[in-house]
Amino acid sequence: MGADAKVVPAVQKVLPTWTIAPAANNRDALEMLKARAYDLVLTGVESSGKQDVDLLRQIRLVRPHVRLIIITTESTPADVIAAMRERAFSYFSEPYSMAVFEQMLVLATSGPVWDEGIEIRSATPELMQLVARCDRKTADRLVQFIHEVADLPLKERDAVGFAFREMLMNAIEHGAQFDSTQHVEISYIRAKHMVLCRVKDPGEGFSLDEVSHAAIMNPPSDPIRHAAIREKQGLRPGGFGILLTQKIIDELIYGETGNEVVLIKYLRPEQLETPAS
- C-alpha closest to that of 14 among 95, 89, 96, 109: 109
CA separation for the pair 263, 198 (Å, rounded): 6
The one-letter code for the residue type at 165 is: R
Burial of 113 (0-12, 13-18, 19+ CB in 10 A): exposed
CA separation for the pair 37, 21 (Å, rounded): 12
Instruction: Count CB atoms within 10 A of the CB of residue 6.
Output: 13
Full-model pTM: 0.84
**Residue ranges in the chain assigned as alpha helix (H):** 7-14, 26-35, 49-62, 77-85, 98-108, 136-149, 154-170, 225-233, 241-248
Q: Are the C-beta atoms of 174 and 203 separated by less than 8 Å?
A: yes
For the chain, the first-to-last Cα distance in angstroms comes to: 23
CA separation for the pair 83, 78 (Å, rounded): 9
Give the torsion through C-alpha atoms of 139, 70, 108, 101, to 10 deg: -70
What contacts 180, CB < 8 A, 6 or more positions away?
133, 134, 135
Count, residues in the chain:
277
Kindly report the average pLDDT of the chain as a whole number: 85
Q: pLDDT digit string (tens) for 251-274? A: 999 998 889 999 999 998 765 554
| The CATH classification of domain 116-277, taken from the options 3.30.565.10, 3.90.1150.200, 2.60.40.10, 3.60.10.10 | 3.30.565.10
- C-alpha closest to that of 167 among 152, 183, 186, 148: 186
**In the beta sheet, which residues pair with residue 107?**
none
Q: pLDDT digit string (tens) for 109-166? A: 886 555 679 999 999 999 999 999 999 999 999 999 999 999 888 888 988 999 999 8
Instruction: Classify residue 19 by its DSSP letter.
Output: P
CATH superfamily assigned to domain 1-112: Response regulator (3.40.50.2300)
Domain ranges of the chain: 1-112, 116-277
What are the CA-CA distances from residue 120 to residues 59, 87, 114, 275 (Å)? 20, 10, 18, 26
pLDDT in tens, the chain (277 residues): 445 668 888 999 999 999 999 998 999 999 999 999 999 999 988 899 999 999 999 999 999 989 999 999 999 999 999 999 999 999 999 889 999 999 999 999 886 555 679 999 999 999 999 999 999 999 999 999 999 999 888 888 988 999 999 899 989 988 898 999 999 999 999 999 999 999 999 988 765 555 555 545 556 665 565 456 555 666 665 555 676 787 889 999 999 888 999 999 999 876 555 454 4
